[in-house]
Amino acid sequence: MRKYAVVLVVVLVSMLLAVSGGVQAAAFSQTDAALAWMRDAQEPDGGFSSGFAEGSDFGTTAEVILAVAATGQDISTWLSSDGLSPLDYVASQVSSGQVTDVGNISKAVFVAVAAGLDPRDFGGRDLVAQVMAAQDSATGMFGDTLFKHAYAVLALHNAGEPLPSSAAAVLTSQFTDDGGWALFGGTTPGMADTNTTAFAMQALIGAGEPGAAGGALSYLRRMQNEDGGFPYQKPSAWGTETDANSTAVVIMALNALDEPMGNWVVNGTDPLGALLALWDGSSGAYFWQASVPFANMLATAQAVQAAEGMTFAAVPRVGASRPPSAAVGGAVQVPLMPESGSIYGPGVGLALLGALVLVGAAAALRRSQIPCAVVSGRLR
């Protein structure tokens, strides 16, 4: 799997990106600057805010942990002003019983695996057993969306747990007529989206069915924009501009299939180039979209994951030199609206994002987290 070199970029690189509108894969990587920006935003309890409310958010923190793991760094050394790491925050949420949705439980499995810890005994909980218990015996589904289902399958796969035969069947039976997967399932054409499709592909690879995953490549080619990147969906009432989160998760799916980025060049730019073009040289973070020029935590975390070659079919295993404590207080933050990764789905979040931008809510969210609209299906 390809891993892109990490270099500390300077203003000249930012200017070049702005002029070119995108670059070939691996020409520039802004990972060091993005990591520095994320670390500077760490909350006292060790976690990270989604930008929807004050305080740490479970899903956002998990994404940052995975981004750091993708670079090969030990996240347990990221200590806050109170001496707590992101692992401390996640373990506290798990231990207190506040992580109950199968999507978030799956995220906790990814965190444990990335930190070299046992997901069957993390924060005093058996996360693998909790994921298994969430499967509907009648339908074979984990959770109420295909996105959560794919997440659960990937969590079990990364934990080394044998997958129920029904898990892959749920995905292969709900391949839409236009060649992808839809957030709420079904085969109706026009309902598929790039994010659910990207994670369904990785789940099928984890389940040992790469052929079924590759069946969605034609759909992704139709979704690719002229700048080389990807929107959540098109056509779409909320626009089809390239966004960092959608582009990042598609890159991860392509990497999981060992698809060369060179096969996805459009107008001289491949998907990674389109993603890197959304980097903000002044802050070191990534924008969600070029037309929404605000540093965004979720966009930044997922951009780092993709640029560093991470896939959810094989979560990086780095280890933790400092075991997590489960003594940190706080509650799982419920976002005001969905974004790349919200379990609620894209439509409402995209509409609300547009409203926020129109009324100038960006100024109120100057702390750098204008919502990454909705892209994937996970609670942040």
For the cut 80, the answer to whether the pLDDT of residue 227 exceeds it is: yes
What is residue 335's predicted lDDT score, i.e. its pLDDT?
Answer: 35
Could you check whether the bond before residue 338 is cis, i.e. omega within 30 degrees of 0? no
Q: Which residues contact 96 (CB under 8 A, 6 or more apart)?
A: 326, 329
What is residue 51's predicted lDDT score, i.e. its pLDDT?
Answer: 81
What is residue 52's predicted lDDT score, i.e. its pLDDT?
Answer: 76
Longest dimension (CA), the chain: 57
Identify the residue with better confidence: 349 or 359: 349
What is residue 351's predicted lDDT score, i.e. its pLDDT?
Answer: 32
> If you search the block for the tokens 């005093």, which residue do you land on?
124
Task: Write down the mean pLDDT value for the chain.
Answer: 83
Strands of 271-324 (E only): list them: 286-289, 292-296
Identify the residue with better confidence: 4 or 31: 31
What is residue 373's predicted lDDT score, i.e. its pLDDT?
Answer: 34
Domain extent, residue 144, equals: 11-364
Q: Please count the structural domains in the chain.
A: 1
Instruction: Name the band, by pLDDT with cuts 50, 70 and 90, for residue 262.
Output: very high
Q: Give a yes or no: residue 289 inside a domain.
A: yes
Report the percentage of the chain scoring pLDDT > 70: 78
What are the tokens at 284? 């070191």
Rounded CA gap, 274 and 265, in Å?
A: 10
**Measured in whole angstroms, how far is the alpha carbon of residue 15 from the centre of its chain?**
27
Q: Give a yes or no: residue 1 inside a domain.
A: no
Residue 114's nearest CA partner among 66, 52, 170 is: 66
Q: What CATH number is given to the structural domain containing 24?
A: 1.50.10.20
Rounded CA gap, 204 and 198, in Å?
A: 10
Q: Give a yes or no: residue 193 inside a domain.
A: yes
Report the percentage of the chain scoring pLDDT > 90: 73
Assess contact for 329 and 45: CB atoms under 8 A.
yes
Q: Give a yes or no: residue 4 inside a domain.
A: no
Rounded CA gap, 379 and 339, in Å?
A: 8
Among 27-31, 296-300, 349-353, 357-361, the range of highest mean pLDDT: 296-300
Strands of the chain (E only): list them: 286-289, 292-296
Q: Give a yes or no: residue 332 inside a domain.
A: yes
**Among 25-34, 35-44, 350-359, which is the least confidently predicted range?**
350-359
Kindly report, residue by residue over 151-187, the tens digit of the pLDDT: 999 999 999 999 998 999 999 999 999 899 999 999 8
Identify the residue with better confidence: 102 or 8: 102
What is residue 41's predicted lDDT score, i.e. its pLDDT?
Answer: 97
For the cut 80, the answer to whether the pLDDT of residue 39 exceeds it is: yes
Kindly report, residue by residue over 275-324, the tens digit of the pLDDT: 999 999 999 999 999 999 999 999 999 999 999 999 999 999 999 999 89
Q: Give a yes or no: residue 57 inside a domain.
A: yes
Q: Give a yes or no: residue 375 inside a domain.
A: no
What is residue 326's predicted lDDT score, i.e. its pLDDT?
Answer: 60
Assess contact for 24 and 269: CB atoms under 8 A.
yes
Instruction: Name the band, by pLDDT with cuts 50, 70 and 90, for residue 190.
Output: confident
For the cut 90, the answer to whether the pLDDT of residue 15 exceeds it is: no
Kindly report, residue by residue over 45-77, the tens digit of the pLDDT: 999 998 877 899 999 999 999 999 999 999 999
Q: Give a yes or no: residue 2 inside a domain.
A: no
Coil/strand/helix, residue 122: strand
Instruction: Name the band, by pLDDT with cuts 50, 70 and 90, for residue 27.
Output: very low
Mean pLDDT for the stretch of residues 331-340: 36
What is residue 29's predicted lDDT score, i.e. its pLDDT?
Answer: 64
